[in-house]
Structure 1
């Protein structure tokens, strides 16, 4: 892939990244959780992350699909996560 296409892809994906970032942050806030709590929940699934690393990934909206799925699982958000994120991304 050439550089121009890579830039176009980044631009096209940015509404999704922003929606994911907002969703994770708001979900943590609504549940009264902090990144330390999220780390602890992930640790129970055998996933070791630091709060700083999770904060950075959330800020950038850069999650691997498997980590994002694990976060949705441990926060018990599987019922509406994708629907809410897609709605937010489409409205951006």
Structure 2
């Protein structure tokens, strides 16, 4: 892949990263879950990520798919996560 394609991909994926980040943070707020709580819940599943590292990953929108699935399971939003994230994506594209 040439450098311009890489740049174009990053630009095209940015709205998705933003929607996922906004969704996870919103669900954390709605459910009263802190990063430490997520870190503890992940640890109980054998996934060790410090709260600060988790905060950084979420704030940057750099969440691996497997970690994302674990987070939506912990937040207990498996049934609605994708629909809600796509709605956020639609809203952000309407506001652009």
Is structure 2 residue 5 aligned with structure 1 residue 2? no
Distance, in Å, in 2 between the alignment partners of 1:17 and 1:41 is 23
Distance, in Å, in 1 between the alignment partners of 2:19 and 2:90 is 9
Extract unaligned runs of 5+ from structure 1.
none
Which residue pairs with 1:60 in the alignment? 60
Which residue pairs with 1:39 in the alignment? 39
Q: How many residues are paired up?
A: 92
Once the two structures are superposed, what CA deviation does each residue of 1:11-58 show, in whole Å capped at 9, x if it has no partner?
110110000000111111111111000101111111110011100001
Give the TM-score normalised by structure 2: 0.92
Which residue pairs with 2:27 in the alignment? 27
Q: Note the C-alpha offset of 1:91.
A: 2.3
